[in-house]
Structure 1
Amino acid sequence: MMKTIMKLLLFLSSVLWVSAQVLHEDLGITGCSDFDGEEMYALDGEELWYADFKNHKGVEPQPSFIDHISYPEGAYEAAVAQQQVCRSNLKTVREALKNPPVKKDAPSSPMIYPEESVEVGVSNTLICHVSGFYPAPVNVSWTKNNQDVTSESSINVPYPNKDGTFTQISRLVFTPQLGDIYSCSVKHLALTEPLTRTWDVEDQTPQPGIGPSVFCGVGLTLGLLGVAAGTFFLIKGNECS
């Protein structure tokens, strides 16, 4: 994977239609390197379709809250053909610019957080959000209690930011148990060492009974203060009469 990201990437992205009021933004990306490639389409920041060149198919990772949009048969084959055009263009650019050095922007510190509120024993998803890097992609690995669980995770295709950098999100389905500690580590050619963030199940799980106990304790204290204040004013009133 590191060999892949160390190769020059050529990304061609375009805004296909934007109204004067920016009602919708339609995005298409074609990218390639010597060993990797990307073809992706999105609408208003949501991925609609991308070519999975490893599994040789098109994928429609659309969220459930939008009307599903199906891409025509042959879309994946067209993406494969487009990769040949992309690599031909990449070769031309390299020769014309005499293999210029690749711009390198390191990703910001990754964010790791659960998709849903944490409940012990209830299936959830951990998200590792990585942004601000160039070129794409990054390599994200996961551990559970220092054991590698990367094979159980998934990662989206690189998504372009408006500043020319990229964002990728890796997901790990897990069942929280007290004592478990997870981590995600990010590798990128602009980094000298991986960026790692950890996530502790126990730190995220509400402790039963603490909230009501504190509330009752505060209520009792305020009640006692109220009785004391009432007694004080009663005594003062008797002294004045």
Structure 2
Amino acid sequence: MMMMMMKVSELVLVLSCVLCVSADVFHEDLAIGGCSDTDGEDMYSLDGEEKWYADFINKRGVEPQPSFMDHTSYREGTYEQAVTNQQICRSNLKNSRLGMKDIPVENDPPSGLIVYSRDEVELGVKNTLICHVSGFYPAPVNVSWTKNEQKVTEGTSINVPFPLKDGSFRQTSRLEFIPQLGDVYTCTVRHPALNQPLTRIWDVEVQQPSIGPAVFCGVGLTVGLLGVAAGTFFLIKGNECS
């Protein structure tokens, strides 16, 4: 099934979506290619997980699959084909602008922005902050990080925009960091549909283990044992007197 999405004249996206059936299990295989004057995207995914995308800046294909997954490799020449697709896309974009010059631009601002840590926070232990943006159109968004009000670029990364079923996009930026008590981080998102940037604050907090239940449990157990001992003592004394 081929579907053309042209909500604005600045961006043309072609989506190819195939539903594969194996026994009683449905899988969604998605390919997306897109371009603008300055950006381009060519990506494949399975069940919402990115399997391969073209990195046009470093001129290579990327397989962002974690090590614990069954690795899928794409055939040689996939990146070169993505470059060719970009040339075709820009040619189509030029023709589309001629035919859509009077169509107003539609922009949808992000509807969701959350920041969270990948793992449970432990002071001094390397972790990853995740800034998840969703519900925006067109793609991409611009994401920036700060630590204690100082801009941070080292250790940051961002995935390619991922299309949602309503025609909007989601995108995720990551920041590798080492938690230290008192540090404050921010994730700021910029998009053409926003009058001002969106910012979320995340500060390092470590939950201390609660000792209350253990203390009360210990006190209760001690009182209970004392009660049993006292009862046994008086029972023995009563039997001796009789």
Which bracket does the TM-score occupy, shorter chain normalised? Answer: 0.7 to 0.9
Residue among 169, 172, 176 paired with 1:173: 176
- Structure 2: stretches of 5+ with no match in the other structure: 1-7, 226-242
| Superposition TM-score, scaled by structure 1 size | 0.83
Match of 2:199 in 1: 196
Instruction: Specify which of 126, 132, 142 is matched with residue 139 of structure 1.
Output: 142
Decide which of 6, 9, 12 is 1:10's aligned counterpart. 12
Question: 2:236 matched to which residue of 1?
Answer: none
Cα distance in 1 between the residues matched to 2:202 and 2:113? 12
Q: 1:13-52 residue pairs with structure 2 within 5 A?
A: 13-19=15-21, 23-52=26-55
Aligned pair in 2 of structure 1 residues 12, 219: CA closer, same or farther (>3 Å)?
same
Shift of 1:223: 7.3
Instruction: Report the number of matched residues.
Output: 219
Query: What are the superposed Cα offsets for residues 14-35 of structure 1, whole Å, 9 maximum, x if unpaired?
Result: 2134439561111000100011
Answer yes or no: is 1:215 the counterpart of 2:187: no
Does the Cα contact within 8 Å between 1:7 and 1:34 map onto a contact in 2? no
**Alignment root-mean-square deviation, CA:** 2.3
Within-5 A mapping of 1:152-167: 152-167=155-170
Q: Is the 8 A contact 2:155 2:177 kept in 1?
A: no
Change (3 A) 1:84 1:32: same
Deviations 1:75-115 (A, max 9, x none): 11111110011011111111112252221110024100000
Cα distance in 2 between the residues matched to 1:22 and 1:106: 35
**What are the ranges of 5 or more consecutive residues in structure 1 without an aligned counterpart?**
1-5, 228-241
TM-score normalized by the length of structure 2? 0.83
How far did residue 218 of structure 1 move? 3.7
- Alpha carbons 1:114, 1:127 under 8 Å: kept: yes
Q: 1:75 aligns with which of 56, 75, 78?
A: 78
Corresponding residue SS for 2:193: coil
Contact (CA 8 Å) 1:109, 1:195: kept in 2 or not?
no
Greater strand share, structure number: 2
